[in-house]
Amino acid sequence: MSIRHGLLALLEPGSRYGSQLRTEFEARTATSWPLNIGQVYTTLGRLERDGMVVQEGVDEARRVRYALTEAGRAELRAWYARPVERATPPRDELAIKLVMAVAAPGVDAGQVLRTQRRHVTEALRTYVRERERALARAAPGHPEEVARLLLLEQRVCHAEAELRWLDHCEARLSGLT
């Protein structure tokens, strides 16, 4: 998700000021994507330049409030309607580390895999515990809790997928020795 579209989504229900947007963005993403306030104001400036938002005045604390324009609403609808492209996978440090380790003299690629497996297994346990706690306290139909659960479940699925990939890598590497 781009910060740009995240901010547009947060402005959809009504005007907000920059630090309010930052706080709401981090709350919605369960702090998995922290923002610095400079990113928020830089993005708001670009959105304003592109006609997606306008300054709607200043509140009693002299904070500038931003609101969506019709062009911003149209962009938000278009973003929701588009699939997220998967054609170019993101750079993955683990994949790079592993392919370098395989050909590096004196590096045990199997040990790199085992170290990563221990780390991911512990992370998976943590995510599952967090998900169980969230499920125990979840208010049915409460959007913020549902959003938090979706993010936790994504982390669980990603960790499980990484463990499956590590299994595959281990099997592939065993064919080299």
Handedness of CA 81, 147, 68, 4 (dihedral sign): negative
CA quadruple 92, 94, 99, 104: dihedral positive or negative? positive
Helix, strand, or coil (residue 130): helix
Give the separation between CA 112 and CA 108, rounded to whole angstroms. Answer: 7
Per-residue pLDDT of the chain (177 residues; tens, 9 = 90+): 589 999 999 999 999 999 999 998 888 877 677 889 999 999 999 999 999 999 999 988 999 999 999 999 999 999 999 887 776 667 788 988 998 898 889 999 999 999 999 999 999 999 999 888 888 876 666 777 788 888 899 999 999 999 999 999 999 988 775
pLDDT (0 to 100) of residue 135: 84
- Which pTM value belongs to this model? 0.71
Cβ within 8 Å of residue 87, ≥6 positions away: none
From the list 62, 76, 63, the residue with the least C-alpha distance to 12 is 76
